[in-house]
Amino acid sequence: MIYQRRSSPLHAARAAVASAWCVVLALVALSFDHPLVLCVLLATVVAAAAAARVSRRVLLALLVALPLALAWALINPLVMREGLTVIARLGTVPVLGQLDVTAEATAYGGVLALRTLVIIGCFALHSAAVDPDDLLRAFRRVSFRSALTAALATRIVPVLARDARRLHDAQRCLAGEPAPRRAVVRAVAAGALDRAVDVAATLEVRGYGAARRAPRGGGCPWSRHDLAFAFSAGALAVAGVAAYAGNWESFDAYPAFVAPVEGGQLWLCGALALGALLPFADRRGIEP
């Protein structure tokens, strides 16, 4: 996932605001369990990606994340012993003991899968639509450690992606069967620490984290998009906290799966989707 400039309100917003918006959206997904809310959030992420003109990249990330989501959906009913409605008795399994699969645990596995997809979608949107260079500059003013972590997080992915491509090409050059994909992934992961050290060393010798600060006063004034996404992130955060504190979703997974779809939940879904997507409606001042 490499950032590319597009003409969209999210791209037009300053990196710190756009980043905060993506992170708040992911945090909202973490604070809700109701499947309808999570479905609406997933649809919101996809719609936001389309509005930001990076839908292909985000959908690809969701596709890659699908096996992980499915793993959650499959593992949860096997390891959770909660729930009243037993739908399968698998007998006694070594280590795990008596295995009774319940409808509640299966349904909650689906909830976990949905949440995984929303969070990965948010970070895919972040990678595709938030300028890492600007983000790096913004973090520089906060603290060296957090800045270095952010820099590594944004820089190391493209470096590792290039490593993986090279390793894959090298394996294709061999006479016999090329090494399995997981061996390539393992080699890339094993080399990740070395690569991270190289990137961090480069940041250091370019003077990143030196005590000097950029002169103040030269910053750009906040654009309408900066303000819109900042308000949106704030509204999402408030709605998330209020809904969580007030238990607006009225959701229970165990012992019985209770996920009512009534006026309160529908209002919550509408408010979240509208709050997140409204900033995309204003396309004034966006470079073509």
Least distance (Å) between residue 167 CB and another protein: 5
61 to 16, 66, 85: CA distances (angstroms): 22, 9, 35
- Only one of the segments 16-24, 125-133, 239-247, 248-256 lies at the binding site for another protein (rule: CB under 8 A); that segment is 125-133
Least distance (Å) from another protein to the CB of residue 211? 8
Q: Least CB distance from residue 151 to another protein, whole Å?
A: 7
Please state the closest distance from residue 239 (CB atom) to another protein, in A: 33
Contacts of 161 (CB under 8 A, 6+ apart): 2
- Non-local CB neighbours of 134 within 8 Å, separated by 6+ positions: 14, 15, 16
Please tell me whether residue 145 binds another protein under the rule CB under 8 A. no
254 binds another protein (CB under 8 A): no
125 makes contact with another protein (CB under 8 A): no
- Binding flag, residue 13, another protein (CB under 8 A): no
* Binding-site size, another protein (CB under 8 A): 51
Residue 31 binds another protein (CB under 8 A): no
Nearest to 96 by CA among 118, 109, 78, 112: 78
The residue range among 27-35, 58-66, 88-96, 151-159 that interacts with another protein, by the rule CB under 8 A, is 151-159
Residues 156-215 within binding reach of another protein (CB under 8 A) = 158-159, 162, 166-167, 169-176, 179, 183-184, 186-187, 194-195, 197-215
80/130 with CB nearer another protein:
130
Q: Which two tokens stand for residue 169?
A: 């090409």
Binding mask 214-253 for another protein (x = CB under 8 A): xx--x-----------------------------------
CA dist 14 and 126 (Å) reads 12
| 200/212 Cα distance (integer angstroms) | 18
Rounded Cα distance, 268 and 80, in Å: 29
Tell me the closest approach of the beta carbon of residue 135 to another protein, in angstroms. 10
| Choice between 211 and 245, CB closer to another protein | 211
Q: How many angstroms separate the CA atoms of 262 and 240, rounded?
A: 18
Question: Judged by CB under 8 A, does residue 264 bind another protein?
Answer: no
Nearer to another protein, 144 or 254 (CB): 144
The footprint of another protein (CB under 8 A) covers 2-4, 131-133, 136-137, 140, 151, 155, 158-159, 162, 166-167, 169-176, 179, 183-184, 186-187, 194-195, 197-215, 218
